[in-house]
Amino acid sequence: MTSDFRNEKSDKPLIVGIGGTTRTPSSTDRALRLALRAAEDAGAAVHCFSGPFLVRLPHFAPEHQTRSEEQQELVQMVRRADGLIVASPGYHGGVSGLVKNALDLLEDLRGDEQSYLDGRAVGIVVTAAGWQAAVTTLHALRAIVHALRGWPTPLGAALNTVEPIFDAHGNCTDVKAANALNTVGQQVVDFAGRHAAMEKRSSRSS
Ligand SMILES: Cc1cc2nc3c(=O)[nH]c(=O)nc-3n(C[C@H](O)[C@H](O)[C@H](O)COP(=O)(O)O)c2cc1C
């Protein structure tokens, strides 16, 4: 899943995952990868920017023009992406700084023809040690995706990690959580296909 396919030509929609935490194992990372796996099963190529990558991103500073290799890589992949899946833990009722820092970097897409996340579905996955932060963080991420002109998928996956969700091998043992993560992955790919078909139709008729 984290393999580098940047030089491969593919007709598959590209879905980019951003999220996780610095912890090992990270339940947010596990949840993100399951949603990405569902996207892959639905016919997408996927690429995952997880905690160990995100922690190497410098703190985003809009007044600085220079970008690290990691910052450039993330921006280029999102620029190419047909859809995204963003996964954050609920930290103090909101999005973690690690994930928000990566999302702030998408400011570099502002001047693109396809500005920010325009025309892209974004699946949202949240983990928290309780339902309250899981839901407030889901709402916060939806608002961020709207601000970035993206299309949050109808279903977001909010997981309460106090309840047993993963076994020691990282398999999802909670049927409802697994269904939610599958649906999020499928909805992102479904939207990407519909959007590509619509673009094709409108370019034919113009
Ligand atoms: C700094 C910090 C703040 C947290 N704040 C909350 C919170 O406000 N509400 C909550 O339910 N869980 C909170 N948690 C728990 C995490 O959201 C939860 O354990 C999450 O699943 C951790 O994800 P991970 O396994 O990917 O590291 C917090 C954890 C940390 C480390």
Per-residue model confidence (pLDDT) at position 206? 77
105 part of a folded domain: yes
Domain that holds residue 30: 14-205
3 part of a folded domain: no
- Rounded to two decimals, what is the model's pTM? 0.95
Give residue-wise pLDDT tens across range 181-199: 999 999 999 999 999 999 8
Pocket test for ligand 1, best of 91, 125, 172 (most atoms within 8 A of CB): 91
5 part of a folded domain: no
Ligand 1 in reach of 160 Cβ (< 6 A): no
193 part of a folded domain: yes
Give residue-wise pLDDT tens across range 16-44: 999 999 999 999 999 999 999 999 999 99
Ligand 1 in reach of 110 Cβ (< 6 A): no
Per-residue model confidence (pLDDT) at position 63? 95
6 part of a folded domain: no
26 part of a folded domain: yes
Per-residue model confidence (pLDDT) at position 3? 42
Rounded Cα gap, residues 206 and 196, in angstroms: 16
Q: How many other C-beta atoms are found inside a 10 Å radius of the C-beta of residue 120?
A: 24
170 part of a folded domain: yes
The count of structural domains within the chain is 1
Per-residue model confidence (pLDDT) at position 97? 98
8 part of a folded domain: no
The number of residues making up the chain comes to: 206
Pocket test for ligand 1, best of 26, 55, 88, 92 (most atoms within 8 A of CB): 92
**Of all atoms in ligand 1, which is nearest to the CA of residue 31?**
26
The DSSP secondary-structure symbol of 20 reads -
Q: Which residues of the chain have pLDDT under 50?
A: 2-7
15 bridge partner residues: 46, 83
Kindly report the backbone phi and psi dihedral angles of residue 170, in degrees, each rounded to the nearest multiple of 5, phi listed first.
Answer: 90, 5
Tokens of 153: 């998928």
Per-residue model confidence (pLDDT) at position 8? 52
Expressed in angstroms and rounded, the spacing between residue 129 Cα and the centre of ligand 1 is 6
For residue 43, the domain's CATH number is: 3.40.50.360
